[in-house]
Structure formats: C-alpha cells, structure tokens
Amino acid sequence: MPAKTISKKKVTKTNKVKKEILSTENVSISHKELNTQTQVKEYTPSKPAYELEIDKIFQLQKENRWNIANTSAEERITKLKKLREALERRADELKLAVYKDFRKSPHEVDMTEIFPVIQEIKDACRNLRSWMSPKSVSTPLTLFGSTSKIIYEPKGQVFIIGPWNYPFHLVVAPLVAAVAAGNVVVVRPSSNTPNTSEFTKSLLAEVFPENEVTVTLCDRNAADYWLTKPFDHIFFTGSPEIGVKIMEAAAKNLASVTLELGGKSPVIVDETANMDYTITNLLWGKVLNGGQTCVGVDYALVQETRIPEFIEKIKARIREFYGNLPENWQASPDFCRIINDKNFQRLKDLIDSARSMGANLVEGGYFDEKERYISPTVLSGVTLDMPIMKEEIFGPILPIISYKNIEEAIQIIQSKPKPLALYMFSEDTANIRKVLKNTSSGGAVINGVILHLINDHLPFGGVNHSGLGNYHGFFGFKAFSHERAFLKLNKLDLLVLRKLMPPYTKTTKKISDFIMKYL
C-alpha cells in the first residue's frame, strides 16, 4: 500500500511537471514568434501610399528626362501652342475657379492670370529657336584658332511650387519657361486655392503626359516628401520664411533654386509729383487683387508738405473706384476678398494695433468676417515701430509715413530688407537718381507701379530677402537651363600647349614669358 501510494504521487507530480514544461515551451515559442514579427516590422517598414506614388512619378520623369532634353525647338513650340489653345478654350472655366477662391472680377482674371501667361507663351514661341542656338563667344589669342561657345542645356528634373495670390499665372508662367528649356516638371499649386488648383491640374493633364509634366495636389506631408527628392532645380514663389526652408531642402541635394519672394515694396511721393496721376496709379497698385500682390504697393513715403493733398485725393479716388458709400465698396464686383480666415484676422490685427499705437484712420477700416471682406483702408501718422511696418501687409491697407527730405526717405528704405519692387512718383531727375543709387530692390518703376512685370525683355525677381534669381522671357529660359561652356581646340593649339607641359625647359619659360607679356 505505501509503495503504491508513493508511485501514484510520483506519477501525478511527473505529469504536472510535464504540463508545466510544455506550457513553458509554448510560451517561449510564442515569444519567439512575436519577437520575429516585431523585428520584421521594425526593419522593413512599409511606405505610406503617397510616398510610393511620389517615388513612381519621380522615377517616370527621371526615365523620360533625356528624351525631353533632346526635343527640338519645333517640338517644344508645338507643346506650348497646344497649351495656349487649351487655355483660351477653357478661359471661362478658369475665371469661375478663381472667382470661387477669391470672388475676383473676371476682368481682373483676364489681366492678371490669363494675359500674362499667353504673353509668355507667345514670346517663347517667337524666340525659342534663337534661345536654344549655341552662342559663339570670343576666344583669347592664347587659344588662337579654337572655337568657344555657350550651350544652353536643360537642367533636367524641375519642381515648381506656386503661391495662392495668383494661383494660375505664377504656376504656369514658370512652367512655360521650364518646358521651353526642355525639362520635365512637377508642379505643386497652392492648397489655399483648391478650385484654381484643380483647374490647373486638369488643363495641364490635357496637354502633357504624366512623365513630362505632373501636377500634384498634396498636403504638407507629401509636399515635404517631394522636397527630399533629388530635383535638379526648384522654383518657388511665396514668403521669405518658406523660401528659407525651400533653400535648405534644395541644399541637401545640391539643387539650384529660383526664389520669388516678397517684402515691403515702398512708393515715394516727392514734392514734384503730379498728385492726380500719382494717386490713380498708386491706389490701383494697392487694391489690385485685394492688395494680395507680391509687387503691390506696401507703404507710401509722402513728402510732408504733400500729405493733405495726398489724403484728400486718395479718399476721392477710392469712391471713384468702388462707389460713393462704404456699403457700395463691399457690393462692388470689382473688389476681391481675402484668401482665408487666417489672413483676414492677421490684417484686422495690423489695423487695430496701428490705431491703438496712435495711427489715424483716414479712410476705410470696414470689415465683414463672414465674407472675409476688408475695405480699402488708409492710415496716416504711422511710425516704423508699429507691427504694420515690420511685416509685408499683403492686403488693401495703405500706411502713410511722412518725410522731410529725400535723404530721410532713403534712410527708411535702407533700414529694411531689400524689397521686391520700389516705386517713385517724381519729376525731379536729381531725386530719382539719388534714390536709385542709394537703394536696392528687385525692380524699380518711376511714375508707375507693377507694370514692369509685363515687359518680357526685363528680368523679374528679387534680391536677398525678396528673392534669388529671376525669370520672364529669355531670363526664364535661362533660369531653367545650364549654361555649358564649350571649347573646341585645333591642332595648332595642341602643339603650343605641348611646349608648356613637362618636362619644363628654357623654351617653356620663353613661351610663358611671351604669353604673360604680350597676351
């Protein structure tokens, strides 16, 4: 009996131990499987769908890059003409899209979105054969008989990032230059203007295959991922703050950049200005596109003896533009709205802070938050320490600053970062010369505003804080091209050069002495 009892206990204990061992083994196996799965997830993560799509498009364009680079002038002109025809046929669609984004007059869309693009296309089609031709340059006597040329070759893969203020023009105008230069292009229009951006995507897809021109309507994460791709050139239009980030991203791939930025573009009104003419032009340059123009008038420097007349005439001209009563201004079909709630509030805060710091409300100051409406607004008694004088306004608000003499006006401009444009209304040649010699800006216009943009023979771009590089016409073609140095030596050159190679002799010294003395 005792022996059997012990045997049963042993068997029970043994079975229990076996079960525990088996249980432990199962747990151990389970942990191993779990660790293996964790390691796989850790070391081989799957990419988000948008990154896979970006990789695919970038690769497609990379494979097509040399095909496009080798297209003739005739082939590129055919594409540009097709783009123009599509734009002219669908112009009403574009006007509706811009209206939905801005409540912008169709006449203003014609002037600021359609006409400039068509002009760029016409100019490229007329001149592209000449632009693409190698340019012969002089050859020094030391290389007598050799041939020297500059060859314009496409930069390759290009990324164009557009702004929201002129969401079609400032995307498609640089695209025209990029296509003329023979590049493949990815275009990212602004997400702040969804209707216009959708139209742009549809229009360009009608004209170009995806492996040549692609429009990406993406969020910030996807846009940031696009910037990691090794583009050959990035063209950006927007704020200086974002321009810095674009330049940093481009530097990681040693890509070249064109930065079209902004800044506080001043207008000087001196004691000799024709005030009626000045006010009409200046006010148009302030309220065009609701003041949301990179080269729009930002603030006015007015000679102190002319300020009363300036104020009287600008109040009258606002009424001529938009109606006799403030309620007429808001109802006017010719006055654009602020792009979004964020910018509406920022502009309202600038007016409020200026008034709280002592500025006088000369005219306007009417708001409608629901419509994102800010009336044309004029402030006098503005000082340089006010927030409105420390950032680009980008709205229909005109601060007036008085100055005693032209040197004081110049000092104010010199105290700020270099603007995209500088305007001056004057009949005094000495004053004009002094301002141009002692200031710097992307462009300058005397007795007018903004209109330098429509001359395709002038480069358009900023300097330092207001931009890097330029475009329009031939300058746009150059922006998207590499100027390649080409030299073809003849046999005589090679014979002379051989005498300048090791082993060095007395003859080497005689030849080098002759070259340095006479050539």
Selected catalytic residue, list 108, 113, 212, 294: 294
Quick one: which of 420, 457, 461 has its CA closest to 440? Answer: 420
In the chain, count of helices (H) and strands (E)?
19, 20
Active site residue 125: no
Is 423 in the same domain as 501? Answer: no
Is 113 in the same domain as 237? Answer: yes
Active site residue 218: no
Is 497 in the same domain as 352? Answer: no
Q: What CATH number does residue 209 fall under?
A: 3.40.605.10
Is 107 in the same domain as 154? Answer: yes
Write down the residue that tokens 């001196």 correspond to.
Answer: 270
C-beta neighbour count of 490 within 10 angstroms = 12
Residues with Cβ within 8 Å of 119's Cβ and at least 6 positions away in sequence, in order, are 454, 456
Is 342 in the same domain as 426? Answer: yes
Compute CA 162 distance to the chain's CA centroid, rounded to the nearest angstrom.
6
C-beta neighbour count of 116 within 10 angstroms = 20
* Tens place of pLDDT per residue across the chain (519 aa): 444 444 444 444 445 544 444 444 444 444 444 444 444 445 446 889 999 999 999 999 999 999 999 999 999 999 999 999 999 999 999 999 999 999 999 999 999 999 999 999 999 999 999 999 999 999 887 787 889 999 999 999 999 999 999 999 999 999 999 999 999 999 999 999 999 999 999 999 999 999 999 999 999 999 999 999 999 999 999 999 999 999 999 999 999 999 999 999 999 999 999 999 999 999 999 999 999 999 999 999 999 999 999 999 999 999 999 999 999 999 999 999 999 999 999 999 999 999 999 999 999 999 999 999 999 999 999 999 999 999 999 999 999 999 999 999 999 999 999 999 999 999 999 999 999 999 999 999 999 999 999 899 999 999 999 999 999 999 999 999 999 999 998 776 666 677 777 888 888 888 888 878 877
Coil vs helix vs strand at 46: coil
Backbone angles phi, psi at 254, to 5 degrees: 50, 40
> Could you tell me the two tokens for 408?
């004081």
Q: Residue 467: inside a domain, yes or no?
A: no
Torsion angle in degrees (nearest 10) through CA of 323, 329, 332, 334 = 100
Q: What CATH number does residue 422 fall under?
A: 3.40.309.10
Asked whether the beta carbons of 147 and 487 are under 8 A apart, the reply is yes
Count of domains in the chain?
A: 3
Residues with Cβ within 8 Å of 220's Cβ and at least 6 positions away in sequence, in order, are none
Selected catalytic residue, list 108, 113, 120, 260: 260
Is 98 in the same domain as 243? Answer: yes
Q: List the domain range (segments joined by +) for residue 506.
A: 489-518
Q: What gap in Å lies between CA 331 and CA 105, rounded to an integer?
A: 12
Q: Residue 23: inside a domain, yes or no?
A: no
Q: What gap in Å lies between CA 234 and CA 239, rounded to an integer?
A: 15
Q: Residue 248: inside a domain, yes or no?
A: yes
Compute CA 154 distance to the chain's CA centroid, rounded to the nearest angstrom.
20
**Domain termination site, one of 425, 446, 461:** 461
Greatest pairwise CA separation for the chain in angstroms: 131
